[in-house]
Amino acid sequence: MKAHATASAGPVAPKKPSRWIPPRIEKLLWARAAGRCQCAGCNAPLWKSELNQESVAVGQNAHIWAFSEDGPRSNDGIRADEIHHPSNLILVCYPCHRLIDADKRGEEFSVDILRLWKLEHEARVERVTGIASALKSHVLFYGANTGAHSVRWSFREVANALFPDRYPAEDRAIELGLDNSATRDDGPRFWELELTNLRSHFDHQVRARAGRRGPEGIQHVSVFALAPQPLLVALGGLLGDIGPGDVYQLRREPPGWDFATDDDSGWPELAFEETSDPEGTPALVVGLSASVTRDRIDSVLGSDCAVWRLTVPHPHNDVVVRRSQLRAFRQTVRRALDRVKEVHGQKTQLHIFPAMPVSAAVELGRVRMPKAEMPWRIYDQLPKHGFVPVIDMLGDETVAVRGES
């Protein structure tokens, strides 16, 4: 009787769990994290050694509420039988594990902060892995020196601009620019060298793979380009016959490549102004990022030239902020080119003076139809010389203007 009375006297304290985490819990944690560190801003891959790239699991299971009473963030807010629950575990790399656990009192890396990181990371994994394979896109970089400014790329930064509409088909970009080029756009042979390099890299890395099935094939490209505008037009001309693609715009304020999400407003202020003198040499001024005054054109072609314009009321560098603006730009450019050709004839050379965002320059080249277009002569603005002719586009040929190469 005494033994019976002793066994039933009062509740039994829950048994403290061991540090061993069941494999099914670990598998679930790794799956939800996609094998990457869940600390905000890290995202390190945890399936390989950073030192020698050997395939090895280097992830660590960190407790949000601590395993022990005196551990980081303590364990006052969780029952003993929930310590190893997936919701109380966050997958991290070794440096991040040390960092968050060094904050013993949880003042900087609190329970709420770690929970938020975990939830945001797992939501991003679910969103990205849920994208259909048809939305894969190959990221394409093209850069060339503009004046004294060279180009630096961050694949992670530009890849983020694709989401949620598309995602990178590969973990690296296709790069078309000249590596470590020391040439400048006012130097001898710059345009000839850049065009030759662009055609060669494009044919080898893009055209040869376009439309092919399998992992090596390219079905869609996402274009990120920073270069003198005539070269961007030339790039657009190459892109015109390889299939679908999106062109992105570098925004200066705030810095970034992503478009605004409210994408239904179009570009109502984009205007096409016809010439008042259709008898002169035809010139098309695309003034979207800066104004181009008539005297600058006259100094090149003479005062009797026929100036046509594509413009906006207040040109500035960040004028393109939405995808819909580029769609409207392509449509307006197409109508403008047809109208100029109707007035001046298909065999007459059209002189193009660009002052536009990088994305619009690429799109101008994309709308060009080699067999149906007027010959184009494209100008570049140089600080000491004003507008100078640098590239000719005639049919399928794109060449540097002799004397400006």
Quote the pLDDT of residue 44: 94
Sign of CA dihedral 268, 270, 274, 275: positive
Quote the pLDDT of residue 255: 84
Q: Which two tokens stand for residue 121?
A: 């990371």
Asked whether the beta carbons of 100 and 109 are under 8 A apart, the reply is yes
Euclidean distance between CA atoms 141 and 248, whole angstroms: 11
Quote the pLDDT of residue 265: 57
The three-point CA angle 284-290-294 to 5° equals 50
Predicted TM-score (pTM) of this structure: 0.70
Quote the pLDDT of residue 151: 67
405 residues of the chain, pLDDT tens digit each: 444 444 444 444 455 667 789 999 999 999 999 999 999 999 999 999 888 888 999 999 999 998 887 788 888 888 888 889 999 999 999 999 999 998 877 788 999 999 999 999 999 888 777 766 678 899 999 999 775 556 677 888 888 888 878 889 888 899 998 765 556 666 668 999 999 999 999 999 999 999 887 778 899 999 999 999 999 999 999 998 788 899 999 988 788 898 877 655 556 588 999 998 899 999 999 999 999 999 999 999 999 999 999 999 889 888 998 888 999 999 999 999 999 999 999 999 999 999 999 999 999 999 999 999 999 999 999 888 899 999 999 999 999 997 654
Quote the pLDDT of residue 13: 44
The Cβ of residue 203 has, within 10 Å, a number of other Cβ atoms equal to 11
Quote the pLDDT of residue 348: 97
Euclidean distance between CA atoms 66 and 111, whole angstroms: 9
Quote the pLDDT of residue 75: 80
Q: Is 352 left (phi over 0), alpha (psi -120 to 50) or beta?
A: beta
Contacts of 307 (CB under 8 A, 6+ apart): 275, 283, 285, 294, 297
Q: Which two tokens stand for residue 230?
A: 């005539």
* E strand spans, 67-179: 89-92, 136-143, 167-168, 174-175
Q: Which two tokens stand for residue 33?
A: 């994290």
Euclidean distance between CA atoms 137 and 156, whole angstroms: 14
- Matching residue, tokens 């109707």: 342
Asked whether the beta carbons of 388 and 379 are under 8 A apart, the reply is yes
